[in-house]
């Protein structure tokens, strides 16, 4: 496979022997070769990994310093045929000072040496006793390990063509403005931190939060390699933290307190990082630093990799893990408070909802009921109208009736059959012809009923359409596409199903719960065509436009990160491996792109609704696209897959 904008990195945690430079160098070489075999492009070792971090006053020994340089020469010789970029830590003399440095090398050549800026001098750490700060450095290049004019300083970014990376060292991360902040603003996509951070109770969780935050603030990849087994335990212990983060998310980490060497490998999506930076116009506005950076050119391996070492969520909109309950609660509260705000602003107290017994109208009705509670209104202010038509089945009808009544809302039933038959007669349409006219007439008749009833009672028509339907244009223009406020407008179909289930299991009494769970299990359908001979749903949406879990996946990666079809197809093939064949994914991806472009005119006229997540299609803010935009180049890329 191709790399698709992914950069393979590794945080190496070697075993060390304090002050035994050649043993440590051999360990570095061994892990570098292992990284090469795994397709790693850049591998980072801990702070002072050549000597070990805990040498203390031994750093004043000229023998140790010279042996560290000798060990680096060994590393350079042993890795000159490797493509992997290696970042190792060791003490380096420049002028009359000793610096705690990151040495960046490839193919036996030192590309740069970066000294540490912020040196701790508290508690058990006294680095200022042995090392000078990069702030005091006056040289921009040095001769070292037999090589001349090596770029030296903290103003160095390594350019690899399609992406850039840079380094900072341990304490640098913990300062109010880490060097990586300026590096990211200057163009560094991945930050490598060579660290030697000891373990204390509670410190690990704080470390993870700091790494998450810095990678998020910098909109960057962050690779953290810290000292492990073998460092002196005289006063402190090192757990061997290897951590890889990407824009606020931890995507890989080592086993803590392991006695074995570790290589924590992950693929960082640089294309995703660049997309985020381009969209975030505030990112570069913060570039007030007057620091100028030198860009040092190097190369990275471009060999294909067999597997992707990066999480790809099959259902990116659905909360997972420990945050499940809190996220669902937050989403539901956003919907409820948005509707409450709109009602308060307009002075309207009645909410009118068309309830079909399907997922979307169910969620909208639940939002209305909860909003009534929040505004201290009787739930009778919520008017649930079921409008059976030619395709309504007993299952959905009974669920709609049961739900409206058990929630305590005002129940109304208004059949659309006679009105539609009269309309067919008026426009000379044969009702036996179940075409688009046949279907859309029903949707528009239902919308007319909702609008007119809301006028009768000074109410607000609450829209039920979801984000997935808006993306696909799976709505009748001036039918279910229209309302006075759309509470589900930024909730994708996969999340609607999940939210309804969550509300049923956590918020509702038994009678309502049973109805909601049956609705969750009901196939998605507009029910605009007559039921089959057994009275079951004959028109299943996902048979016509494709699985919503695929369309939500396509929608997320296309809108959130601006990925093209080729990369979306690649990611979908990984996420849905064993579930959908490649030709099936390709077919529905083509359907998604074609419909997404062709149906923009419906989104341009969509009503107001609350934004819930990072992906939204409101034409007033989140997605501004001309209705005449051509999908040709996107479809061509799909055809060439």
Which residue in 44, 170, 218, 420 is the catalytic one? 170
At 165-177, the pLDDT tens digits run 999 999 899 999 9
- The least confident of 53-57, 262-266, 281-285, 346-350 is 281-285
Alpha carbons within 13 angstroms on the beta-carbon side of residue 159 total: 9
Judge if 288 and 375 occupy the same domain: no
Judge if 98 and 201 occupy the same domain: yes
> How would you write 435-473 as a 3-class SS string?
CHHHHHHHHHHHHHHHHHHHHHCCEEEEECCCHHHHHHC
pLDDT of residue 286: 67
Residue 218 lies in a domain: yes
- Across the range 491-513, mean pLDDT stands at 93
At 391-429, the pLDDT tens digits run 889 999 999 999 999 999 999 999 999 999 999 999 999
Residue 545 lies in a domain: yes
User: Cα–Cα distance between 158 and 187 in angstroms, integer?
Assistant: 10
Does residue 287 have a pLDDT over 80? no
Which residue in 21, 69, 116, 567 is the catalytic one? 116
The pTM score is 0.91
245 within 8 A of 222, measured Cβ to Cβ = yes
Residue 302 lies in a domain: no
- Across the range 360-374, mean pLDDT stands at 97
Q: Higher-confidence residue: 501 or 305?
A: 501
Does residue 433 have a pLDDT over 50? yes
Does residue 527 have a pLDDT over 70? no
Which residue in 21, 44, 47, 160 is the catalytic one? 47
| Active site annotation includes 47 | yes
Residue whose C-alpha is closest to residue 211's, from 178, 187, 183: 178
Residue 373 burial (10 A CB sphere; 0-12, 13-18, 19+): middle
User: Cα–Cα distance between 165 and 180 in angstroms, integer?
Assistant: 10
Mean pLDDT of the residues in the chain: 93
Residue whose C-alpha is closest to residue 469's, from 446, 492, 439, 486: 492
Q: What is the DSSP string of 235-280?
A: S------EEEEETTEEEEEPPTT-SS-EEEEEEEEHHHHHHHHHH-
Residue 2 lies in a domain: no
User: Cα–Cα distance between 51 and 44 in angstroms, integer?
Assistant: 15
89 within 8 A of 100, measured Cβ to Cβ = yes
Judge if 221 and 327 occupy the same domain: no
pLDDT of residue 274: 95
Judge if 342 and 227 occupy the same domain: no
pLDDT of residue 351: 98
At 609-632, the pLDDT tens digits run 999 999 999 999 899 999 999 999
- Across the range 229-236, mean pLDDT stands at 83
Residue 311 lies in a domain: no
Total domain count for the chain? 2
CATH of the domain at 15: 3.60.110.10
Judge if 428 and 286 occupy the same domain: no
Residue 41 lies in a domain: yes
Residue 315 lies in a domain: no
Q: Could you tell me where the DSSP H helices lie in 521-599?
A: 541-545, 548-561, 565-575, 582-598
Q: Which domain holds residue 292?
A: 7-297
pLDDT band at 121 (very low <50, low <70, confident <90, very high): confident
Share of the chain above pLDDT 90, in %: 83
pLDDT band at 178 (very low <50, low <70, confident <90, very high): very high
Does residue 305 have a pLDDT over 80? no
Give every CB contact of residue 37 below 8 A, 6+ residues apart in sequence: none
Beta-strand runs (E) in 395-541? 410-413, 459-463, 485-486
CATH of the domain at 533: 3.40.50.620
Does residue 194 have a pLDDT over 90? yes
What DSSP designation does 593 have? H
Judge if 415 and 547 occupy the same domain: yes
pLDDT band at 1 (very low <50, low <70, confident <90, very high): very low
At 564-590, the pLDDT tens digits run 999 999 999 999 999 999 999 999 999
Q: What is the DSSP string of 93-136?
A: EETTEEEEEEEEEETTEEEEEEE-S----STT--GGGT---GGG
**Three-point CA angle 275, 281, 282, nearest 5°:** 120
Residue 432 burial (10 A CB sphere; 0-12, 13-18, 19+): exposed
pLDDT of residue 291: 76
Judge if 627 and 519 occupy the same domain: yes
At 377-396, the pLDDT tens digits run 999 999 999 999 998 899 99
C-alpha distances (whole Å) from 84 to each of 36, 46, 80 are 6, 17, 10
Judge if 406 and 541 occupy the same domain: yes
Does residue 74 have a pLDDT over 60? yes
pLDDT of residue 540: 67
Residue 303 lies in a domain: no
Share of the chain above pLDDT 70, in %: 96
pLDDT of residue 202: 83
| Active site annotation includes 116 | yes
Judge if 20 and 104 occupy the same domain: yes
Judge if 232 and 144 occupy the same domain: yes
Judge if 67 and 186 occupy the same domain: yes
Judge if 501 and 356 occupy the same domain: yes
| Active site annotation includes 67 | no
At 2-43, the pLDDT tens digits run 589 999 999 999 999 999 999 999 999 999 999 999 999 999
Cα 387 from chain centroid? 40
The neighbouring-strand residues paired with 268 are 7
Q: Which of 281, 297, 313 is the last residue of a domain?
A: 297
- The least confident of 303-317, 487-501, 550-564, 627-641 is 303-317
Q: Which of 264, 297, 330 is the last residue of a domain?
A: 297
- Across the range 428-453, mean pLDDT stands at 96
Does residue 362 have a pLDDT over 50? yes
């Amino acid at each position: 496979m191709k790399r698709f904008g992914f950069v393979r990195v590794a945080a190496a945690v070697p075993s060390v022997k304090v002050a035994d430079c050649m043993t440590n160098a051999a360990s570095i070489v061994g892990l570098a070769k292992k990284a090469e075999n795994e397709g790693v492009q850049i591998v980072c070792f801990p702070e002072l990994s050549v000597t070990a971090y805990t040498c203390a006053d031994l750093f004043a020994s000229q023998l140790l310093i010279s042996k560290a340089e000798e060990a680096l020469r060994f590393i350079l010789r042993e890795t000159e045929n490797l493509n992997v970029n290696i970042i190792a830590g060791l003490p380096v003399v420049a002028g009359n000072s000793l610096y705690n440095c990151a040495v960046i090398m490839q193919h036996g050549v030192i590309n740069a040496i970066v000294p540490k800026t912020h040196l701790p001098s508290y508690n058990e750490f006294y680095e200022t006793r042995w090392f000078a700060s990069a702030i005091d450095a006056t040289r921009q290049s040095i001769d070292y390990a037999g090589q001349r004019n090596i770029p030296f300083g903290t103003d160095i970014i390594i350019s690899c063509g399609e992406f850039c990376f840079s380094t900072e060292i341990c304490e640098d991360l913990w300062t109010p403005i880490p060097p990586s902040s300026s590096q990211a603003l200057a163009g560094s996509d991945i930050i490598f931190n060579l660290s030697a951070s000891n373990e204390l109770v509670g410190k690990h969780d704080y470390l993870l939060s700091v790494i998450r935050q810095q990678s998020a603030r910098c909109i960057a990849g962050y690779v953290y390699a810290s000292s492990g087994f073998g460092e002196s335990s005289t006063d402190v212990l090192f757990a061997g933290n290897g951590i890889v983060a990407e824009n606020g998310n931890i995507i890989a980490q080592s086993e803590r307190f392991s006695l074995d060497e570790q290589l924590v490998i992950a693929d960082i999506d640089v294309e995703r990082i660049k997309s985020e930076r381009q969209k975030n116009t505030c990112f570069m506005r913060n570039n007030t630093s007057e620091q100028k950076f030198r860009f040092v050119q190097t190369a990275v391996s471009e060999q294909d990799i067999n597997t992707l070492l990066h999480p790809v969520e099959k259902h990116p909109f659905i909360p997972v893990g420990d945050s499940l309950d809190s996220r669902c609660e937050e989403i539901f509260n956003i919907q409820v408070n948005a509707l409450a705000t709109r009602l308060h602003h307009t002075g309207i107290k009645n909410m009118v909802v068309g309830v079909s017994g399907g997922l979307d109208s169910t969620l909208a009705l639940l939002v209305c009921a909860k909003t009534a509670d929040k505004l201290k209104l009787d739930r009778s202010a919520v008017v649930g109208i079921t409008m059976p038509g030619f395709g309504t089945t007993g299952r959905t009808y009974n669920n709609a009736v049961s739900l409206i009544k058990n929630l305590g809302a005002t129940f109304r039933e208004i059949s659309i059959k006679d009105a539609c038959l009269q309309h067919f007669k008026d426009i000379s349409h044969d009702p036996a012809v179940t075409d688009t006219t046949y279907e859309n007439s029903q949707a528009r008749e239902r919308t007319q009923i909702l609008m007119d009833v809301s006028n009768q009672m000074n109410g607000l028509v609450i829209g039920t359409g979801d984000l997935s339907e808006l993306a696909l244009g799976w709505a009748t223009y001036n039918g279910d596409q229209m309302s006075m406020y759309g509470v589900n407008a930024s909730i994708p179909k996969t999340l609607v199903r999940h939210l309804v289930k969550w509300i049923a299991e956590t918020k509702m009494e038994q009678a309502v719960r049973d109805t909601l769970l049956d609705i969750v299990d009901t196939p998605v359908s507009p029910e605009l065509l007559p039921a089959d001979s057994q009275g079951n749903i004959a028109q299943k949406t996902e048979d016509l436009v494709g699985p919503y879990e695929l369309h939500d996946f396509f929608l997320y990666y296309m809108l959130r990160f601006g990925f093209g079809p080729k990369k979306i197809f690649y990611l979908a093939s990984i996420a849905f491996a064993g579930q959908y064949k490649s030709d099936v994914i390709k077919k529905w991806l083509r359907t998604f792109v074609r419909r997404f472009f062709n149906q923009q005119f419906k989104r341009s006229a969509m009503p107001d609704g609350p934004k819930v997540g990072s992906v939204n299609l409101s034409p007033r803010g989140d997605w501004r696209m001309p209705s005449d935009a051509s999908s040709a180049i996107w479809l061509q890329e799909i055809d060439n897959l």
